[in-house]
Structure 1
Amino acid sequence: MLPKLLCFFLLVGITSASLSGHIASGTCVCLTTSGVHARNGAGLSHSVVATLGSGECYKFNGGTLTHDGYHWYELQDVHGHHRVWVAGNFLSVSSSSHCSGSSTGSGAAVGTFATGVVSQHCLQCICQHESGCRPLGCSWDVNSNSCGYFQLKQVYWEDCHRPGGSLAACAADKNCASKCVQDYMARYIGHSGCAHNCESYARIHNGGPKGCQHSYTLDYWNGIRNEGCSANS
């Protein structure tokens, strides 16, 4: 196993942008690179609660700590979490207009996830893994198009009762796409033979109605875990 600090650098990459020193509470800060871990405390030993993408912007809550060689900043209302900590190496101060929503900036995800059997945290991990949680256009992937936030396919969209008028339209709408995922899981989890948890939902999302039973979905699940989710998320 790689040392924890080395793993951290491999995951987020190295960027020249860096936030350091005092800034006022309420300042808008934005991510300067993708794959950055937000944690539930200031330090590499704290649990990862979300993985953030370049261009996402949040308000600084006023908390700062130095730990493990990083200056950590406490941000508010990040991916459904009231308070998280992010290393200043991957943040920069931005215009307050970029923080008018919960996640803004060029290409960043907006809107909210639909509620249902899948937790908001689990949905976020799947969304981040599939698309960086962005409304990507449809593109050819494994014999059919994959579209939008959750990289939905035509047969998947049909199985979730065709919301939003078309696959492309629904997949590009965060609430509609996540509702499709919720309805798909509600339809199949009871027949899957697997536990009602994030691991099962992720593997079904990847492998179909009984994907949680197939070994080929384990690599996908490892990708979801790398986004900060556990089976019980």
Structure 2
Amino acid sequence: MLGVFVFSVLLNMAMSGVIENPVSLMCLNCMCKVATTSCTDVGCNHDREGIACGYYQIHYGYYIDCYKPVPDSGCRGLSEQECWMKCSRDKPCAERCIQSYMLRYRNKNGAGSDCENYVRLHAGGPYGAAKWNQSWYNRTSYYWNYARAYGCVWNS
């Protein structure tokens, strides 16, 4: 019962703007198009980092780092990895994950608080926007260039 109450309070805070969502809808839309071309749920796929799932191609480690949000339909009876896959394939849950991830890692390791940095963090992890670490920064340049092709600008 307490869990339901706490969830209700947090939901109301989020809906009223008390809890910050740093990534704009425009920036999320760019990320989604870069991840899946048409911003659709493409299921789970293998890439160079392992398995990535859903609209934003979220990896399991990313899901852990975003504090493991649960889809509105719940994860009762599912393993943690099954819940990650379900959340990643549920757009609102995936977007909550991204917002939490950015709140956790923005302004750390040289990352700023703008769309370019969010795109780079999404693509490269906690060091994806670290200009001081050229290998990590260069690794995310391709992703940012794709986002720009979809209309993203650094301050969107």
Bin of the TM-score, shorter chain as denominator length: 0.7 to 0.9
Q: 1:202 aligns with which of 81, 102, 119?
A: 119
CA distance in 1, matches of 2:145, 2:104: 24
- Alpha-carbon distance, 1:135 to partner: 1.1
Indicate if the aligned counterparts of 2:105 and 2:111 stay in contact, CA closer than 8 A: no
1:129 aligns with 2:34: yes
Q: Between Structure 1 and Structure 2, how many residues are aligned? A: 119
Q: Which has the higher contact order (CA 8 A, sep 6+)?
A: 2
**Corresponding residue for residue 19 of structure 1:** none
Indicate yes or no: 2:62 matched with 1:150.
no
Q: How does 1:149-188 map to 2 (within 5 A)?
A: 149-164=55-70, 165=75, 166-188=83-105
Looking at CA atoms only, which structure, 1 or 2, has the larger radius of gyration? Answer: 1
- SS of the equivalent of 1:208 reads helix
Partner of 2:11: none
Q: Secondary structure at the match of 1:190?
A: coil
Offset of 1:141 from its aligned partner? 1.1
Deviation at 1:144, TM superposition (A): 1.3
Q: CA deviation at 1:190?
A: 2.3
The amino acid of 2:64's aligned partner reads: E
Instruction: Tell me which residue corresponds to 1:231.
Output: 154
Distance in 2 (CA, whole Å) between partners of 1:147 and 1:222 is 22
- What RMSD in Å do the two structures reach over aligned CA positions? 1.2
Question: What residue ranges of structure 2 are gaps of 5+ in the alignment?
Answer: 1-19, 76-82, 131-136
Q: TM-score, normalised by structure 2?
A: 0.73
**Which structure: greater strand fraction?**
1
Cα distance between partner residues in 2 of 1:143 and 1:186: 23
TM-score when normalising by structure 1: 0.49
SS of structure 2 residue aligned to 1:212: coil
Q: 2-side partners of 1:143 and 1:187: how far apart?
A: 21
- 2: distance between equivalents of 1:219 and 1:140? 19
- AA partner of residue 159 (structure 1): D
Q: Which residue number corresponds to residue 211 of structure 1?
A: 128
Higher relative helix content: 2
Pairwise CA distance, 1:143? 4.0
Aligned to 1:102: none
Runs of 4+ more than 6 Å apart? none
Q: Which residue number in structure 1 is paired with residue 7 of structure 2?
A: none
Confirm or deny: 8 A CA contact 2:34 2:143 kept in the other structure: no
